[in-house]
Amino acid sequence: MPELPEVETVRRGLALRMEGRRLARVEQRRPDLRFPLPPRFRERLEGRRVERLGRRAKYILVHLDGGETLLVHLGMAGRMVLVEPSARVARDPHDHVVFVLEDGTEIRFNDARRFGTMDIVADDRLFDHKLLKELGPEPLGNEFSGPVLEERLAGRRTPLKAALLDQRVVAGLGNIYVSESLFWAGLSPRRLAGTVKGPRAERLAAAIRDVLERAIAAGGSSLRDYVQASGELGYFQHEWAVYGRAGEKCPGCVCTLGIRQIVQSGRSTYYCPARQR
């Protein structure tokens, strides 16, 4: 599933073409994605001007004139791909929703597995939406810090890795970037979450922010179906320190143990048992 850096990369690519332009035509090619699309979906979007594109956690927020927002989640393998007006690219059977801008640019929502989601929400109720209302702080926002992270983890007796995957603790983190952040913070994924306090919490918050910023700068990590809105691949997978590198030497570490792989809550975790405590 695309994580925060992948979604932010897509958002930035779409914003360059969508902001300030009208949705001249909307093609709804099926009645549902993961859930049914809202009533009169096409009629409610056609002719609307895109004011700006935002993001909350792993959700893209297309703010429209008239006080409503199109909420988009890419799901497991969803993509929003830009197609230039001059390009003659045949429609894919999994192009379930197509947005045609006033300059002829198409944004095709392609989702073979149909785990994606779209909804239209009034702006004044946006952050009360069932998909957004319980999300934790944005890890790249000004409200995120060591003390905030310590407070969110306080009293939790679950492993640290599992706690960080809980979107109510920190919004937008997934398996890849939690593993990477824990490595750079020097914290074991097995550590009880509630023990991360003071300098440890500061270290972890800084590592999370740094890893996410570097991943966004690299265009995200390309796994399976993920591509940027432009159709290009991301490159952060080439900078992974531990994720997917079981048995390899730990970068910057003098230990001879190598990177270990374990399974936590059904998900693979990668870490250095010497460096991460």
- Torsion over CA: 194, 195, 200, 203 (sign): negative
**Residue 5 amino acid letter:** P
Active-site residue, from 22, 25, 190, 267: 267
**Active-site annotation holds for 239:** no
Q: Map residue 68 onto helix, strand or coil.
A: strand
**Active-site annotation holds for 91:** no
The strand pair at 79-83 and 106-110 is best described as antiparallel
Q: Measured between alpha carbons, how far is 232 from 227 in angstroms, rounded to an integer?
A: 6
Q: Measured between alpha carbons, how far is 36 from 267 in angstroms, rounded to an integer?
A: 29
> What are the tokens at 173?
């983190």
**Active-site annotation holds for 3:** yes
Active-site residue, from 11, 55, 56, 58: 58
Q: What is the DSSP string of 135-200?
A: ----TTSTT--HHHHHHHHTT--SBHHHHHH-TTTSTT--HHHHHHHHHHHT--TTSBGGG--HHH
Angle at CA of residue 175, ends 149 and 171, nearest 5°: 40
Active-site residue, from 2, 137, 139, 159: 2
Q: List phi, psi (to 5°) of 159.
A: -60, 145
Active-site residue, from 3, 6, 68, 150: 3
Closest listed residue to residue 110, CA positions, set 95, 89, 91, 90: 95
**Active-site annotation holds for 2:** yes
- Name the one residue in this structure whose structure tokens are 């932010």: 8
Q: Measured between alpha carbons, how far is 24 from 28 in angstroms, rounded to an integer?
A: 13
Catalytic sites, residue numbers? 2-3, 58, 267
